[in-house]
């Protein structure tokens, strides 16, 4: 899984800088422990994809909003992702915050769609294309979505 590799590489790079302060055995054991923790975390994320993990919808591939969570973390580690909101008419006033949690939106855009002819700030879609970009959207009485800050 690409997320596992990304997390392991990040830990390895940061941990290697501190390696001179500990013995080789301590280094190997600590790094192995980090890798085990990363494997467990990515397994949880994979199980939660499209579901909710600690109140946050985790998205690792094209998906729809579940309508339950108020926060959506999108991991764009491998490719661009399309994400579709529920109909604003059915959930007037509800808000959802969507973020590029992996920090790769510049290379792998996140395109947010609506149902039917609904719009987001007057447009058919909203694209997150800056690394770590995020947006909070609110469903309006008119059956559309608006970004709020």
Q: Are residues 100 and 122 in the same domain?
A: yes
CATH number reported for the structural domain that contains residue 57 in this entry: 2.60.120.640
Q: Based on the structure, what is the number of domains in the chain? A: 2
pLDDT in tens, 40-76: 676 566 555 556 666 788 787 888 888 888 899 888 8
Give Cβ neighbours of residue 114 (< 8 Å, ≥ 6 apart): 84, 85, 87, 88, 120, 124, 125, 144, 145
Q: Domain containing 108: what range?
A: 52-148
* Residue 38 reports pLDDT greater than 80: no
Model pTM?
0.68
Average pLDDT over residues 18-25: 62
């Amino acid at each position: 899984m690409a997320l596992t590799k990304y997390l392991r590489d990040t830990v390895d790079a940061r941990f290697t800088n501190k390696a001179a302060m500990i013995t080789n055995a301590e280094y190997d054991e600590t790094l192995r422990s980090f890798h085990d923790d990363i494997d467990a975390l990515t397994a949880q994320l994979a199980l939660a994809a499209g579901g909710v993990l600690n109140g946050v919808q985790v998205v690792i591939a094209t998906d729809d909003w579940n309508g339950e969570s108020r926060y959506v973390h999108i991991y764009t580690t491998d490719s661009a992702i399309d994400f579709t909101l529920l109909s604003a008419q059915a959930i007037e006033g509800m808000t959802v915050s969507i973020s590029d949690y992996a920090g790769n939106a510049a290379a792998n855009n996140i395109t947010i769609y609506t149902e039917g002819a609904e719009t987001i700030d007057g447009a058919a879609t909203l694209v997150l294309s800056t690394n770590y970009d995020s947006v909070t959207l609110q469903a309006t009485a008119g059956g559309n979505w608006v970004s709020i800050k």
